[in-house]
Structure 1
Amino acid sequence: MGISTETQQFAQFLESVRAKASPPALDLAVVRDIVDTHASASTEPEGVTYADVDADGVPALWVIPEGADPDKALLHFHFGGSVAASISSDRKAAGHIAKAAGARSLVVSFRLAPEYPHPAQFDDAETAYRWLLAQGYEPRNIGSTGHSIGGTLAVALPLRLLAKGEAAPPGRSSASRRGPTSPSATRRWTRTRNSTRCSAGTSSSSSERLGCRTPAWTSPTPTSAS
């Protein structure tokens, strides 16, 4: 059996990443450009449209599947270790997740370090959530998803709000760890994919039983995951 077209295309993609990343001492602008090309390795979701939006000063992208429930929304946060990636990097992934959930997804373009150090990223996540509330979405109808550092934001947002005594946005937050994106990384990787879910309710007692409440909010340690 021959090599599939998809496999050949992915191999070409990995080779292009290797070529771009091979020069020593890459500056941050080049790294960000390379990371943004990762979206080309994923498929375009069918039946999904997009619309740029200003979420109270935070750039964002509405991902709108056909037939999506107008009363429900997701907040989606991209990968990149808080220093790289963008809305473009996660647009397709957010589209597939939104289709599966049957809800709109707001992909958040949070500020990046080092230009905007921690906790700017967490502040932007909260701002985007409060913008959704201003659009008429109820906390119980908002969920959060994310890749890598975006997964940290997806889980940290409800914890941050619960620590303030507010209703947590999602019924469930889902976070995933990305796999390798280059041949060398593939060889080092041992197929470890971690999934974290935190069910958060409006009742502090039930939240504590579910492990979704902390006695006091402490900003998470910045992560280098990408």
Structure 2
Amino acid sequence: MPSEESLKFRQMLMEQRAQMAKVFATHQPTLEQERAGMEAAWSQVAVLTDVTVEPTTFAGMHAEWVSAPNSRLDSALLYLHGGAYYMGSVVSHREIASRLARACAMRVLVIEYRLAPEHPYPAAVEDSVTAYRELVESGIRPENIVIAGDSAGGGLTVATLVALRDRGYALPTNAVAMSPWTDLECTGGSMVTRAPFDPMLTPESVRGITHHYVGEADPRSPLISPIYADLSGLPPMLIHVGHDEVLLDDAIRLSDRLNAAGVAAGVKVWEGMWHVFQSFAAYVPESQQAIDEIGNFVQSKLPANAK
């Protein structure tokens, strides 16, 4: 059963979504306003007090190194933020990065890949591949690297792995995808069946933003919608998804296709949870439980020298 805290938080999200729907009915915000709104909301959430945040330029991108006292220097988690490919930044994902740094005992590198529609596909994939290569060139071995992401960043995580494999690069030790957006055609059955229960997303809102990133490309391109990619040879992957989100089938189909390709992938569907619920660990106990599970998975796959 979902916790009392999650039920209360869920109700708040539902009320906020209803209020925003009324606002959008008469005033459609610009991209700049949406981006600023996301930044403002998440800038109010403090990172864990013992975590260090170091702004940097990495592979030509603005980025942040987020480290906990137990984070090892010989390993790194490359974090690809969500935001539907047109929003999101180091600010919006600083808090979840701080929790992952502690749970995974790794430094977390959050990069600001180029955003659509100014930079549509393949900009995000090119930037994430470049960041991974820079990590390796800096001296961190692939077996000590993890790639993780949420929502669009979860889909980008898979696309990055496919691109790295196809280009002949050594792959990271494992990967994590939280509520991954893997089908930009939005054909999953949960777009209908979970719509009444999703407190954050609607099918209309998701379908209405795909064009920002897809542009003139085919939405079934393997690096846009990685459920259509050849997934063989990818590293072990943990997938988390909320039972009550319209992207539920994006995660389940990804897991099914990874397993069919011989990849050790597991999907956990969290009862009563919503899109990227891990971001609310300051308020919802299930969110921290999920972060801890991710940490256990990541650490279990690292070689002994990186533990």
Q: Is 1:186 equivalent to 2:187 in the alignment?
A: no
Measure how far apart 1:81 and its partner are: 0.8
Q: Which residue of 2 aligns with 1:115?
A: 118
Deviates more, 1:68-77 or 1:19-28: 19-28
Q: Which runs of 4+ in 1 moved over 3 A?
A: 14-21, 40-43, 187-190, 192-198
Q: Which residue of 2 aligns with 1:220?
A: none
Q: Which residue of 1 aligns with 2:23?
A: 22
Q: What is the CA deviation profile of residues 151-184 of structure 1, one whole-angstrom value per residue up to 9, with x for unaligned ones? A: 112222222111122211x211111128xxxxx9
Measure how far apart 1:55 and its partner are: 1.1
Q: Output the CA distance in 1 between the equivalents of 2:43 and 2:56.
A: 23
Q: Which residue of 1 aligns with 2:175?
A: 173
Give, as a single letter, the amino acid of the residue that structure 2 aligns with 1:116.
H
Unaligned 5+ residue runs, structure 1?
179-183, 201-207, 213-224
Question: How has the CA–CA distance of structure 1 residues 21 and 163 changed in structure 2, closer, same or farther, with 3 Å as cutoff?
Answer: farther
Measure how far apart 1:18 and its partner are: 4.0
Give the root-mean-square deviation of aligned CA atoms: 3.7
Residue number among 46, 52, 56 corresponding to 1:53 in the alignment: 56
Measure how far apart 1:117 and its partner are: 1.2
| 1:1-226 equivalent positions in 2, closer than 5 A | 11=12, 15=16, 18=19, 22-23=23-24, 24-39=27-42, 44-168=47-171, 170-177=172-179, 186=199, 191-192=244-245, 194=251, 209-210=262-263
Unaligned 5+ residue runs, structure 2?
181-196, 203-242, 266-274, 277-307
Measure how far apart 1:120 and its partner are: 0.5
Measure how far apart 1:46 and its partner are: 3.3
Give, as a single letter, the amino acid of the residue that structure 1 aligns with 2:150.
H
Give, as a single letter, the amino acid of the residue that structure 1 aligns with 2:176.
S
Q: Output the CA distance in 1 between the equivalents of 2:96 and 2:125.
A: 21
When normalised by structure 2's length, the TM-score is: 0.55
State the number of aligned residues. 197
Measure how far apart 1:100 and its partner are: 0.4
Percent of pairs identical after alignment?
A: 28
Contact 1:58 1:109 in 2 (8 A): yes
Question: How has the CA–CA distance of structure 1 residues 162 and 65 changed in structure 2, closer, same or farther, with 3 Å as cutoff?
Answer: same
